[in-house]
Structure 1
Amino acid sequence: MHDDITDVPGIRVGHDTNLEAGTGCSVILCEPPAVGGVDVRGGAPATRETDLLHPLCMVDEVNAILLTGGSAFGLDAASGVVRYLDEHGIGYDTGVVRVPIVPGAAIFDLPFGSATVRPDHAAGYRACEQANNGPVEQGNVGGGTGATVGKMLGPASAMKGGLGSASMELLGGIVVGAIVVVNALGDIVDPQTQQVVAGTQNSAGKSPDASNPFGNTTIAVIATNATLTKTQVTKVAQMAHDGLAHVIRPAHTMFDGDTIFALATGSRTSGIQQDRATAALQVSTLGAAAANTLARAIVKAVRSASDLHGVPAASSLLESHEK
């Protein structure tokens, strides 16, 4: 076990990182396709193909998820993921051609590094080429490259966010994994100590600054090897948002585009086919595990980050305090 989302069989992760521009993208590939769901809670989302994941919609498989920087511009990276999957004959079989199903979400990192360099189709394709099932690189990488947190007083008081991942094994060989890009308006709190791990700097005596409030959003993917229906996996995505509320304060603001996708690869039977009460209990158990795993991944993201473009990270501040 790597303690990350690639512990879920069939999940591979790849990144494309541009440190100079302060942006990038990450791709989560599902082989075989997974049943997908999504829950959007933030007031300013930048997303792609989320309607497709609604339980009332027909298609019930997902080939990949994109987590990207670059705001709405960065969603162009999904076209590169689609091209990669198409070249490998992967997608929903329409009878004429296989159409790759690639939902995605973006963070607003344009003020960080370069506002004119954003992930594009080439970046999405490169991320797919790098995808593997080994340990997930975390911190200033992929979609988390330009992520920052603690912006209630404006970007000048921010600290470095990043990308994090974690996993949990339940009874019966069921694994729940999470990968997250942490770019929150709020502070990140360690749920064990209730201490701020990364957040607003020099906040004493200052008032909130709404002059540039849009550089926010936490986006994530939950994956499990349990067998779930589209409705059930959507419930897992919904419950996973509790993980944001556990460690990001505040979360789900009007300036955040918080979005969580969920994937069920179905390689393990979870007893969902049993009676209604048992099925509901097991979906609830998976949702609670998803929330706890996501909370850990968020803390890992900011602890794995390093200073970039003059924005300090939690790790460097901890080192300075220890000296």
Structure 2
Amino acid sequence: MKNLLTDIAGVSVGHADDADVASGVTAILFDKPAVASIDVRGGGPGTREDALLEPQNVVEAIDAIALSGGSALGLDAASGVQAWLAERGRGFRIRDAAVPIVPGAICFDLLNGGNKAWGRFPPYRDLGYAAANAAASDFRLGSVGAGMGATTAGLKGGLGSASATTDDGVMVAALAVVNAVGSVTVGTGPWFWAAPFEVDSEFGGRGQPSSFTPDMLKVRLKGGAQATAAENTTLVVVVTDAQLTKPQAKRLAMIAQTGMARAIYPVHAPLDGDVVFAAATGAKPIDPLFGLTQLGAVAANTVARAIARGVYSATALPFPGALPSWQDRFG
């Protein structure tokens, strides 16, 4: 167990980013098509193929997921991942044709100090292809890939991951790109809201404050009153080795959303585009009621841990006025 999304067999993750642009892409690839669905809770989402993932629609399984910076301009990252898969003959078969199924989601990182004067076309399609080409079982956390330009209220955001196993031996893992309008830490201190779910000091082992003061519970928003609906989003991918139907994957995504509420304060705001993808590789049978409920509960905890690890692992961008990292403040 690496405490990564790739602890699930048949899953690989790759990053590609541009330090000058201060943005990037993360590709999650499945060796075999994975049953998947989606749950969107934020008020300002940016997604691709979200309708396809609804349980009532035809396509059951996906080949990959693309996460990107760049706001709506970053949705083209999925085209790069799709091109990489097409070169290898992957995709939904329609007679002699194959169409790679690559849902995607983006976060807003266009005002983080990087050079966004990229010319006619944004770089995200090429970054998507490069991220797919770099996919492996090991990958970095923090200010990399889709998390390179991410920020939160007061601290640099980033990309995190975590994994767990249920009492029944079913594995679940999460990957999170944390670009929230809210805060991942309590007040102005080093404590993560996700502290009750931490495993083996994976994000510093600071625990919780001895008591919660009114100032700690004050709502802190990135940008304050100047925050706008397009500037934030936390993107999450949850993967399990359970056998799930598409409606069950939808339910898993819905339950896993509670992990955001355990790690970010506030969350699911009009200022966010929060989204959870849930995918199942189908290796292990699961009870459709109790088993799925237990899996969802563990998944939610794992999402909270992945969010905290993303901020804990981040490094500040090298631009004037850039937000400090957690390590800069408390490490």
Q: TM-score range by the shorter chain?
A: 0.7 to 0.9
Q: Deviations over 1:35-56 (max 9, x none)?
A: 0010000000000001001100
Letter in 2 for 1:52: L
Q: How many residues align?
A: 297
Corresponding position of 1:84 = 84
> For the aligned residues, what is the CA RMSD?
1.9
Corresponding position of 1:251 = 267
Given candidates 275, 280, 288, the residue that maps to 2:289 is 280
Measure how far apart 1:159 and its partner are: 1.8
Corresponding position of 2:303 = 294
Given candidates 161, 183, 196, the residue that maps to 1:165 is 161
C-alpha separation in 2, matches of 1:218 and 1:87: 31
Cα pair 1:67 1:220 within 8 Å, conserved: no
Report 1:135-154 matches (<5 A): 136-150=139-153
Corresponding position of 1:129 = 133
Measure how far apart 1:121 and its partner are: 1.4
C-alpha separation in 2, matches of 1:119 and 1:234: 32
Q: Deviations over 1:220-268 (max 9, x none)?
A: 1000000000000110000111000011000000010000000000012
Measure how far apart 1:116 and its partner are: 3.6
TM-score, normalised to structure 2, is: 0.86
Measure how far apart 1:213 and its partner are: 5.2
Corresponding position of 1:276 = none
Measure how far apart 1:212 and its partner are: 4.5
SS at match of 1:148: coil
SS at match of 2:3: coil
C-alpha separation in 1, matches of 2:91 and 2:137: 20
Are 2:331 and 1:315 aligned?
Answer: no
Corresponding position of 2:198 = none
Cα pair 1:91 1:101 within 8 Å, conserved: yes
Measure how far apart 1:318 and its partner are: 1.2
Cα pair 1:25 1:119 within 8 Å, conserved: no
Corresponding position of 2:203 = none
Measure how far apart 1:114 and its partner are: 2.7
Instruction: State the percentage of identical aligned residues.
Output: 42
Letter in 1 for 2:283: S
Letter in 2 for 1:210: Q
Q: Which runs of 5+ in 1 are unaligned?
A: 151-157, 273-278
C-alpha separation in 2, matches of 1:208 and 1:312: 17
Letter in 1 for 2:323: V
Measure how far apart 1:210 and its partner are: 2.5
C-alpha separation in 1, matches of 2:227 and 2:293: 40
Corresponding position of 2:30 = 30
Measure how far apart 1:21 and its partner are: 1.1
Structure 1 residues 317 and 211, CA gap change in structure 2 (3 angstroms): closer
Letter in 1 for 2:126: A
TM-score, normalised to structure 1, is: 0.88
Runs ≥4 in structure 1, deviation > 4 angstroms? none
C-alpha separation in 2, matches of 1:215 and 1:78: 20
Report 1:201-280 matches (<5 A): 208-210=224-226, 212=228, 214-270=230-286, 272=287, 279-280=288-289
Letter in 2 for 1:305: A
Cα pair 1:110 1:116 within 8 Å, conserved: no
Q: Which runs of 5+ in 2 are unaligned?
A: 186-191, 196-206
Corresponding position of 1:275 = none
C-alpha separation in 2, matches of 1:214 and 1:91: 32
SS at match of 1:123: helix
Corresponding position of 1:155 = none
Q: Deviations over 1:75-99 (max 9, x none)?
A: 1111111111000011111113111
Cα pair 1:37 1:231 within 8 Å, conserved: yes
C-alpha separation in 1, matches of 2:164 and 2:117: 39
C-alpha separation in 1, matches of 2:257 and 2:65: 18
